[in-house]
Chains A and B, each alone.
Chain A
Amino acid sequence: GQNIDQPTEMTATEGAIVQINCTYQTSGFNGLFWYQQHAGEAPTFLSYNVLDGLEEKGRFSSFLSRSKGYSYLLLKELQMKDSASYLCAALDSNYQLIWGAGTKLIIKP
C-alpha cells in the first residue's frame, strides 16, 4: 500500500530551528512536495524535491533521500506567522499525489 507518515504536531520557539520529518512508501516515485497550510486557507507550495539532497530557499530548506524514503522540511529563524500545518505529499508512478496527514506546527514566543 501507499503511505506517508509525518508527526501530527510539533512545538517550537520563535527564532529557533525546527525539522519536520516525512517518510513515504509509494508505488513508484516521481518527487516529493511540501506545502504550507494556514487554518482556513488553501495549501501553498513550498518545495519540490526529486533528486537526493538539500534544496534551500531562504529560511526554508527541504531534504530528500530516495533510498531511505525520507524527506524533511527545515525551518530556520522561526516567526509566529510560520504557525501552520505542513503537508508532505509524494508523487507516485501514476503521477498522483499521495498526501500525508500534515504536521501542525505551533510557534511559541
Chain B
Amino acid sequence: DTEVTQTPKHLVMGMTNKKSLKCEQHMGHRAMYWYKQKAKKPPELMFVYSYEKLSINESVPSRFSPECPNSSLLNLHLHALQPEDSALYLCASSQDGTGVPSGNTIYFGEGSWLTVV
C-alpha cells in the first residue's frame, strides 16, 4: 500500500473562514510534507515534518499552520487566506528525511484543490 490520502479533495473558503486540510498515510513513513502547486508550476515545499517534529518551514505565512498529531497524520490549518493562496495543496510522505536510496521515495497524495473567494 503506497497510499497517501488527502481530504477534502476540493475546498472553497472565504477570506475570514477557518478550515483544515488533512493527510494520512499508513506506510510507516516518518517524514511528511506539505507542498503548494500553482497551475503549470512545479510543487513548492511549504513544511516538512520529520519524526513528528517540524524540521523545515519554508518561510510560509502564519495564516498556514501545520500540525502533526501523530506519525500517520498531518494537518494544515488555514485562516484568513488570500485569493492568491488558491492552489493545489499536496501532502507527501517518505520513509524518513534522509537520502537512503529508494527508501526515500516521496509519495504524493492526490491533493486538495483550494479556492479562496
B contact residues, range: 20 to 34
Interface residues of B in 58-117 (CB under 8 A from A): 88, 90, 97-99, 101-102, 104-111
Nearest neighbor of A45 in chain B, beta-carbon distance: B105
**Cβ-defined contact, A48 with B90, below 8 A:** no
**Cβ-defined contact, B106 with A33, below 8 A:** yes
Complex CA–CA separation, A89 to B43 (angstroms): 10
Nearest neighbor of B41 in chain A, beta-carbon distance: A101
Interface-side segment among A11-19, A36-44, A76-84: A36-44
**Cβ-defined contact, B90 with A91, below 8 A:** no
**Cβ-defined contact, B110 with A31, below 8 A:** no
A-side residues, CB < 8 A to B, are 30-31, 33, 35, 41-45, 48, 50, 87, 89, 91, 95-97, 99-102
B-side residues, CB < 8 A to A, are 40-45, 48, 56, 88, 90, 97-99, 101-102, 104-111
